[in-house]
Structure 1
């Protein structure tokens, strides 16, 4: 069997989606005889192989303002790569030009009598995060000081554009044989796009790598964190979608005692702005994306509390890694954070409210240690292991291929009923 991931969200500094794909390739390499093909945009056309793993880069332009991400613009090259490599399953992690090349490849293979599936994993709520929310923020909230009427129309325009995006992407999702999501709530969100029957495939975490036992006083000392200081940490992309500026806004509202430090780990278009703010404040550290997973796990476990303000998370993998590392979490009451954070090990506050976030940090501070232990215990008991995630995923693919093989017609396989809200 040969599986393929087709995505633009795979770079040297990518987060959750790259982790998911890397872990999938590891699982296939260690536990199966199957092959994996990864197709991503790159600086130049390039192909590299390592045993049963193949990576194809297709020359593509950078996305302005989102470097180092690139945008597929040659669907013919994608189709040629698929035709050359002949995967049995193509999983879409990007929703723009690449799906149509995958659909044409699938249809051509099926015309030849070869069972082939195209699936889509709902990694990102594109309609909300990249269409509706930005428009409402800039044309709605941005106009509130100018005119209530203009602000209202800005909000309405954001809703109209988001509805249109849901319809457009929903049309693409319905052409897939399987839609996949990490949580029941995200499966329900896919239903807003007009797609039923989404299957739940939770993401995982390396429970041996991410552990409180990796806590390091030396790592804290390198950041200038004294014994009684409190270290807050965020790990992820530094962009407006993640609302990282609000983390510094909340930090500014914390009391002088105890002494707080804030570490933001990652890359993104807001890095220069964040570094400028950090330079003025002191005790705010903007660190580069950490490629060394062991060093990253040590840094995470050496903090006292994880903070995140992004309202658009579809799973919150970095949050689960923090919980596995024994950290309580302070976040916002939106997206997948509602499923990841419970009062026993964290707090959620209103979206965009730095004052409320600072208050939540102060509230849980006396119980940080006990709440961190509860977070670790929850992750262990919930079974957030990668192997179980991929056992679920590949069982779905085997059944899907078998269903298509047994059917007399062609076209996409029949979707299950329901909206995916099940265990």
Structure 2
């Protein structure tokens, strides 16, 4: 298939949306598909242009300079796609560039699908703009209901979004590179840098340092864990608008900043448990990375945790929104390092079943349902590639936080 993907975030951006898309693009190309990419020009770095990549003008999002949106490019896209018609257009983000791509694809009568990665209507509460929640949801509903279908990562997300009026929702999970994120990357030298004894547990958080991530609950949980395990250290990996204040207010914690690739994988594997208090995820890729790294994970019972965890077998879950229960579960995790290690082994086994190759083949099948007339040679190539790479995980060039 000839697939056109439109996104306002991609490598080297350090977020879960970019990471997910990089992995899927890599696997789709391995399956024999021709993938073109439309994205804003990366800022502040000389990033090589991928094959078939088209870049447009972008601008930093006010108040969140690490992210940007693309300016509308409808005219250029209509001209481009009229000359070389893609079999399907997939829009990964709902910004001005994404909306112009939606209109261009519909004007050319091209099959168009979308992904919903971010609950913007929920985020508004975290940024003191609750009155924008309803308009944001109305826009998401209008945008996604205009496509053939919208990809979301879990079944409970489908139920919630359907209740909010979104239609034609399809569940597509997430994968993990289980070769990159692996317990073998545990690094004694890194633990020594943290000032951690061999037998002292480390509680890890990986993610954006932003209001919607519920980081105060992570901090309270760490304090509670130290009541039963005084030697416990807390390590925070990531960057964001709260980083300065968190570093200032919590000198007892180790803030490692943004990490990528093998460096990030070593940070995961050198910890012992993963404490993830966010309630704003559509999935939470970092949970899969922590599980693949052999950590005992704790999260609220929704999104990735509901899909991946069996409570007290390969992780611990807390009742959604019950912060006291979350803290109790954190103390339970800290009370028995041996048990936590057993959870981590089981978590690793579960993560190994979530390959990006499998996810990409599921997506391919969904697209074929709306693009029935396909090049049979391409389809055959895809089937053969899928058989030979079923155990292969994608290795995105830039890895970091959700």
| TM class, shorter-length | 0.7 to 0.9
User: How far off is 1:379 after superposition?
Assistant: 2.4
* Structure with higher RCO (Cα < 8 A, 6+ apart): 2
Query: Where does 1:80-91 land on structure 2 (aligned, <5 Å)?
Result: 82-83=80-81, 86-91=85-90
| CA separation of 1:302 and 1:82: change in aligned 2, threshold 3 A | farther
2:27 — aligned with what? Answer: 27
Match status 1:101 vs 2:100: yes
User: How far off is 1:81 after superposition?
Assistant: 7.9
Mean CA deviation greater in 61-70 or 302-311:
61-70
| CA separation of 1:20 and 1:31: change in aligned 2, threshold 3 A | same
Check whether the contact 1:47–1:54 (CA below 8 A) recurs between aligned residues: no
1:278 — aligned with what? Answer: 250
**SS in structure 2 at match of 1:263:** strand
2:256 — aligned with what? Answer: 287
Aligned match for 1:123, one of 117, 122, 132 = 117
Distance 1:339 1:122 in 2: 18
Match status 1:340 vs 2:291: no
Distance 2:238 2:80 in 1: 32
Query: Where does 1:10-409 land on structure 2 (aligned, <5 Å)?
Result: 10=10, 12-40=12-40, 42-43=42-43, 49-50=49-50, 53-76=51-74, 79=77, 82-83=80-81, 86-110=85-109, 116-128=110-122, 130-131=123-124, 133-134=125-126, 138=128, 158=130, 162-255=133-226, 257-279=229-251, 282=252, 284-291=253-260, 293-343=261-311, 344-349=313-318, 356-365=325-334, 366=336, 367-380=339-352, 383-402=353-372
What are the superposed Cα offsets for residues 34-55 of structure 1, whole Å, 9 maximum, x if unpaired? 23314135449x99544xx333
1:414 — aligned with what? Answer: none
Check whether the contact 1:13–1:289 (CA below 8 A) recurs between aligned residues: no
Check whether the contact 1:42–1:59 (CA below 8 A) recurs between aligned residues: no
Check whether the contact 1:278–1:286 (CA below 8 A) recurs between aligned residues: no
Give me the CA root mean square deviation: 2.9
**SS in structure 1 at match of 2:299:** strand
Check whether the contact 2:58–2:68 (CA below 8 A) recurs between aligned residues: yes
Can you give the 5+ residue segments of structure 1 that lack an aligned partner in the other structure?
111-115, 140-157, 406-423
User: How far off is 1:183 after superposition?
Assistant: 1.4
**Larger C-alpha radius of gyration, 1 or 2?**
1
Check whether the contact 2:106–2:112 (CA below 8 A) recurs between aligned residues: no
TM-score (norm 2): 0.82
| CA separation of 1:108 and 1:215: change in aligned 2, threshold 3 A | same
Mean CA deviation greater in 351-360 or 4-13:
351-360
Can you give the 5+ residue segments of structure 2 that lack an aligned partner in the other structure?
376-402
Distance 2:246 2:11 in 1: 22
Q: Aligned pairs, how many?
A: 369
Check whether the contact 2:120–2:133 (CA below 8 A) recurs between aligned residues: no
Mean CA deviation greater in 34-43 or 172-181:
34-43
Distance 2:21 2:12 in 1: 13
Check whether the contact 2:274–2:297 (CA below 8 A) recurs between aligned residues: yes
**SS in structure 2 at match of 1:5:** strand
**SS in structure 1 at match of 2:59:** coil
Distance 1:341 1:78 in 2: 45
TM-score (norm 1): 0.78
What are the superposed Cα offsets for residues 61-82 of structure 1, whole Å, 9 maximum, x if unpaired? 2112211111233344763685
